[in-house]
Amino acid sequence: MIVVLFGPPGSGKGTQAAGVAAHLGVPHIATGDMLRAEVERGSALGREAAPIMEAGQLISDDLIIRVMGSRLAEPDAAAGALLDGFPRTVAQAEALDALLRSRGRAVDEVFLLQVPDDVLLERVLKRAAEEGRADDTAATFGRRLAAYRDETEPVLGHYRRERVPVVTVDGVGTVEGVAERIHAALPRPHQLGQAS
């Protein structure tokens, strides 16, 4: 089962991901978390990614596709994965399709968390105060939202063209309320059995 959690920065992907991954019995794979861990470690990848992330821009497709290719080849992802923050461009979505196709698989479902821009900014600034993420400033948020609109939103059109179900979930409200709406739209375990 390959599920993509989709939405703008601050839409709640990271907050909701653990519960959804546990429900599906697959690992939660978040490219942003992976990149932040590399920055923390001071690896070559982390040193390359840090200034780009801090500027609110996207890491190159080649680099992130390589990172995801090796992550998805790890044994825990054999049963599937919940993807958070990837794919973020149509080129990434196409590379993911090709990778999955070579294993006889495909993206099963996309969940789009829908949240108005003013609520997104409010959440990102709250996260800045709580977690101190370098890219959670008002100025960088504007650039991240622009990157989302220009480069990431077209990925939805890609999945719709490929006939992958795209489920829109209202992402405003309490963490529990949003979780309930996502869970109501998730495939039930017996459907998962049929799908695999």
Residues lying near ligand AMP in the complex (CB under 6 A): 9, 31-32, 35, 52-53, 56-59, 64, 85-86, 88, 92, 135, 144
Report the nearest approach of ligand AMP to the CB of residue 28 (Å): 12
Q: Least Å distance between CB 9 and ligand AMP?
A: 5
The verdict on whether 144 is a catalytic residue reads yes
Show the tokens assigned to 96: 């993911």
Q: Please, how many CA atoms are within 13 Å of residue 158, restricted to the half-sphere of its CB?
A: 18
For residues 86 and 111, which CB has a smaller minimum distance to ligand AMP in the complex?
A: 86
- Does the annotation count 13 as an active-site position? yes
Taking residue 103's Cβ as centre, other Cβ atoms within 10 Å add up to 10
Which of 71, 133, 143, 181 does the annotation list as catalytic? 133
CA distance 43 to 121: 30
Catalytic residue among 105, 127, 143, 181: 127
Which candidate, 97, 111, 88, places its Cα nearest to that of 187?
Answer: 111
Closest approach, Cβ 143 to ligand AMP, in A, equals 9
Write down the catalytic residue from 103, 105, 126, 144: 144
Residue number, 32 or 171, with CB nearest to ligand AMP = 32
Our CB check for ligand AMP shows the closer of 21 and 192 to be: 21
> How far is Cα 19 from Cα 44, in angstroms, rounded to an integer?
32
Compute the least distance from the CB of residue 178 to ligand AMP, in Å: 17
Beta sheet of 28-30, edge-to-edge order: 28-30, 81-84, 2-6, 109-114, 166-170
Other beta carbons within 10 Å of 12: 23
Closest listed residue to residue 60, CA positions, set 52, 51, 69: 52
Active-site residue 126, yes or no?
no
* CB nearer ligand AMP, residue 3 or residue 53: 53
Active centre residues (catalytic)? 13, 88, 127, 133, 144
